Amino acid sequence: MSLSLLIDPTFSSAPGTDGSRDLFPDDGEYVGAIAGLQRDTTILHDLPDAVFIELYAYEMLERSCEFAPKVRGEETWRVPFWPASLLVAADISVHALREIERMMAVFDSIILVNRPQTALVPESNRVLGALRFDPELYVAAVTDQARIEGWEVQS
């Protein structure tokens, strides 16, 4: 069994064309719930950014727990953002991410696809309901994380 994670904030524009599993599909429950929250601007703006980012991380964990036992052979999962880098880019220092990450599937490899900062905005709206972090800080944080962890980086 070999499990890879592809972090690409533009993957929703071409879902699954490479045979990978989209953990945040447009027709999935999570994206539908975020879209529902976008229709209620009171909730969308009253909740702190940390709530949305941790919800995103927890959804990644939930999909991880759901799909990991079914992996046979080689499989790649796709997500738009790395949760820890989102928190850094949103200047959120108090969070539950360490606990969430400990329960996530272990990836044999993680591939980061570098995209321009402007490419982050539509995907943030789709999975976080709004732009809840500084795109420049996110790119710096996730690039630094990739260097520290030895992830493959693609342009």
pLDDT at 1 over 90: no
Q: What is the mean pLDDT of residues 29-33?
A: 91
Higher pLDDT, 4 or 15: 4
Query: Tell me: the pLDDT tens digits for 40-64?
Result: 777 777 889 999 999 999 999 999 8
pTM: 0.89
Q: Give pLDDT, residue 98.
A: 79
Q: What is the mean pLDDT of the chain?
A: 89
- Is residue 23 within 8 Å of residue 127, measured between CB atoms? no
Is pLDDT above 70 for 84?
A: yes
What percent of the chain is predicted at pLDDT more than 90? 61
Which pLDDT value is given to residue 12? 61
- Angle, helices 120-128/49-67, rounded to nearest 10 degrees: 80
Average pLDDT over residues 17-44: 84
Is pLDDT above 80 for 13? no
Of residues 27, 36, 124, 116, the one with CA closest to residue 79: 124
| Close Cβ partners of 29 (under 8 Å, ≥ 6 residues apart) | none
Share of the chain above pLDDT 70, in %: 95
Looking up tokens 């996110």, which residue turns up?
138
